[in-house]
A and B are shown apart, each in its own frame.
Chain A
């Protein structure tokens, strides 16, 4: 009986971590369903550290992948029951970043994501009324762009090529509309 009990514990632990194993998915445009080539898929595993009441998460492992012509990308996973479920963030110029936990722009919790063997990630086009500054905050909270930057080179490069200049421009416009004199 004891063996069965231990087997159950081991099974449950490994089934939990197995869910976060290999991530294979297709990235598509949410309107047209067309595959998106060249999207950067960033997967980051974290570990919770600290003492109860004062905990924080630290990056454990980061993997990047770029989608092919068919919009497909695969990221091999981490088999460690002590790590948290990974954050998946997908980035492509002209689109809102897709994240497995939160949805831009209102930071709603994503409810349509379940751990499975194959995924379809639907990316929404970046609308004119969206704010690049808000989107930057969203990326800060989801992709943690200031942490482990050496391992997020593709993601940061893609961000720098498109959005950084947009954020700077939006701040300038915002500041000039405020009429501040810089003092």
Chain B
């Protein structure tokens, strides 16, 4: 009798686990690959960038302009891709926190697990910068604030400006296309950082 009850219980457990697995659904709030590009798309649609590209840079298709022209990669793609790639590798995210109540050189992530922190140290992300410093290089508020160049940051705001300059002045069309792609990707990466500042955990330095 006891044996039968045990077996029945096992069957019930298996069935319940199966039913739970079947009812699982994705919640994409924490899905950095889905969520950031979607917010970026929304931001781009609500901005004036499409108009700006047509009127000022002669990109007739606006954000649908393909860069390079022979690919499917539009300007919109580079912006969205940038906002996705800011979390790649994952240790970049160590620099996505900023507590506005602290000075900028002390406002970076504070409670990262030592295991993750150790891993990030090994992969070249030993210094944890404030989100704002990571994005702009400023250690204190602009324009008078001091500024640094961050090793390993090639997709910040200053980089975007540099790529933009090169996109406008390079001799070959291949180089111009490459730098335009990088310009929009790095803008996308900076947009990611701004998006993170709307998340409570990111402004409380809670990893």
Contact = CB atoms under 8 A, between A and B. Distances in A.
B86 interface: no
A180 B51 contact: yes
A56 B35 CA distance: 10
B151 interface: no
Given A57-B26, A171-B63, A146 B50 contact: no
A56 B31 contact: yes
Interface residues of B, number: 35
A167 B31 CA distance: 27
Contact of A171 (B30, B42, B62): B62
Given A5-B11, A12-B18, A149 B55 contact: no
B5 to A, nearest CB: 12
Interface stretch (A25-33, A61-69, A70-78, A133-141): A133-141
B41 A137 contact: yes
Interface footprint category on A: 20 to 34
Contacts, number: 80
B51 to A, nearest CB: 4
Interface string A1-29: 10001001100100010000000000000
B90 A54 contact: yes
A54 B14 contact: no
Contact of B51 (A5, A141, A156, A175): A175
Nearest to B57: A182
B50 A175 contact: yes
B30 A54 contact: yes
Contacts of B45: 133, 137
Nearest to A167: B64
B114 interface: no
Given A1-B7, A146-B80, A175-B48, 13 more contacts: A5-B11, A54-B30, A55-B31, A56-B33, A57-B31, A58-B33, A140-B80, A146-B37, A146-B73, A167-B64, A175-B62, A182-B51, A182-B52
Interface of A: 1, 5, 8-9, 12, 16, 48, 53-58, 84, 133, 137, 140-141, 145-146, 149, 156, 164, 167-168, 171-172, 175, 178, 180-183
Interface of B: 7, 10-11, 14, 18, 21-22, 26, 30-34, 37-38, 41-42, 45, 48, 50-52, 54-56, 61-64, 72-73, 77, 80-81, 90
7 contacts: A140-B38, A141-B34, A146-B77, A167-B64, A171-B64, A172-B62, A182-B52
